[in-house]
Amino acid sequence: MTRAASDRPLAPRRIGVFGGAFDPPHRAHRALAEAALRQLALDTLLILPTGQAWHKARPLTDAQHRLAMCRLAFADLPGAVVDGRETVRDGPTYTVDTLAELRAEHPGAALFVIMGADQWLAFRTWRRWKDILRWATVAVANRPQTADGAPLPDLAQVGLPFVELELSPIDVSATVVRDQWHQAYRTTSSSAATPAPDVAALVPPAVARYISDQRLYATHGPTA
């Protein structure tokens, strides 16, 4: 006798974890999110702006702004959900703590940690990285470590298991966006900065408007 479809056990949910400063979220972040959802067949991709970033020396833009920009950047991407839990957590933000929470919230779910090559190459410095590998699959998008056509790094040198995401390298970084916006404020007498069109195009249009409206990056600290 065949069981009704509603009686069949459901396949484990596939949940992606995409953390970062997102200061601001830019085109490469969006492209990586799209690739992860598609190539990993994710049911949900959690976009997690970090709280107190343990690995960054510079102060981050207020969490409320980074959350708002993430909601604008990923609002129209099916399956993407902006999750602010790390911004309200006391102390430094660690991925392993987020995974522990998600394992309790979604028993049996398949978890995937999404990251770029720079993060993967430093992965052995992460807090409890062995637990991260036990609890989740790490998916890495490769990209050059420097500009000017530099070769892609060898991800296998880390010597740990991972899944490589296919993604064309995009020459953009949050550092470049912040620097260019800061320069736009210095060269305009108006209250809102309007960078060159090619700079504004590095972030989604709604994010560009938000940066200008909120005068983000008008005062500029050390870049990182």
Asked if residue 72 has pLDDT above 60, the reply is: yes
From the number of C-beta atoms within 10 Å of its C-beta (0-12, 13-18, 19+), residue 31 rates as middle
Asked if residue 109 has pLDDT above 70, the reply is: yes
Half-sphere exposure of 31 (CA within 13 A, CB side): 19
Higher pLDDT: 35 or 93? It is: 35
From the number of C-beta atoms within 10 Å of its C-beta (0-12, 13-18, 19+), residue 164 rates as middle
- What average pLDDT score do residues 17-38 get? 96
Tell me the torsion sign for CA atoms 118, 122, 123, 126. negative
Task: Identify which of 66-80, 131-145, 164-178 has the greatest average pLDDT.
Answer: 66-80
Query: Mean pLDDT for the chain?
Result: 86
pTM: 0.87
pLDDT at residue 219 in the model: 79
Asked if residue 34 has pLDDT above 70, the reply is: yes
pLDDT category of residue 166 using cuts at 50, 70 and 90: very high
Q: Which sequence spans correspond to the domains of the chain?
A: 11-172
Out of 4-13, 84-93, 152-161, which region has the weakest mean confidence (pLDDT)? 4-13
pLDDT category of residue 223 using cuts at 50, 70 and 90: very low
- What average pLDDT score do residues 109-138 get? 96
The percentage of the chain sitting over the pLDDT mark of 70, rounded to a whole number, equals 82
| CATH T-level topology, domain 11-172 | Rossmann fold (3.40.50)
In whole angstroms, what is the distance from residue 17 CA to residue 8 CA? 28
Asked if residue 76 has pLDDT above 80, the reply is: yes
Asked if residue 221 has pLDDT above 50, the reply is: no
pLDDT at residue 135 in the model: 98
One-letter amino acid at 127 equals: R
The percentage of the chain sitting over the pLDDT mark of 90, rounded to a whole number, equals 61
